[in-house]
Amino acid sequence: MRISGSTALVTGANRGLGARLVAELLRRDAATVYVAARDPESVAEDIRRDPRVRVLALDVTDPGSVAAAVDATSGVDLLINNAGVLGFGDVLTGDLALFERDLGTNYLGALRVTRAWLPSLRAAGTRGAAVVNVLTLIALAPVAPMAGYCASKAAAHSMTQALRAAVRDDGIEVIGAYPGGIDTDMLAGVDADKADPAEVAERILTGVETGQEIIWPDDASTGAGKLYLGDPVQLETMLAA
């Protein structure tokens, strides 16, 4: 997948990792970048001023919003499912309403968006198209205080695998990115090592351009990813502790 000259769409693109992905796409000479957010007014003014940017209202949990956004776009050949929410809670006592919200956004929202833009991606498949699902290392093994979030991302991980097989003959690459903790508002109250979101964005898009189906976009996820590939139970034990 070549980013230069591409038409990209990034969900949850108004802040955090999404905003850094938009900046990196523009730096790599994407022709058009649809910057999608539930609140379009929250997109930074310096991003809006770039003539390649198209700001798009999109709530991934709302079928009507998704349908309207599809009608407002054309030629999308790179879809980055980045929109996400995080509700804290352990598996026994966590608020099930938060767990349902996380599943609705992180799993079903990403699937809804992918299905909606599939015709555009299939049309671009002969010259190169890709779906990038921004997942998380803890989709592969949970941490106790984020049980619902981990489960929603695990579902999105499984969806990524199923989608990869389903569109393999359409010329569409399906890529999973599995970052560790990132220094964004989502983890503002968490005391842990966190990666620079600009560096994570750069590594994700380098992985896209070099044909990686699985991307470990920071140092922590690279090390833990190697552990997972060698011994999944050991990673589960490490994160549970």
Q: What is the set of active-site residues? A: 149
Give me the phi and psi of 19, to 5 degrees please: -65, -35
Residue with tokens 């003539």: 51
Beta strands at 7-10 and 53-57: parallel, antiparallel or unpaired: unpaired
Using CA atoms, how far apart are residues 204 and 41, in angstroms rounded to an integer? Answer: 26
Which helix or strand (DSSP H or E) is residue 208 part of?
A: helix 197-209
> Beta strands of 72-143 (E only): which ranges?
78-81, 129-134
Using CA atoms, how far apart are residues 221 and 202, in angstroms rounded to an integer? Answer: 15
Distances (CA, A) of 141 to 33, 57, 85, 89, 111: 33, 33, 18, 16, 21
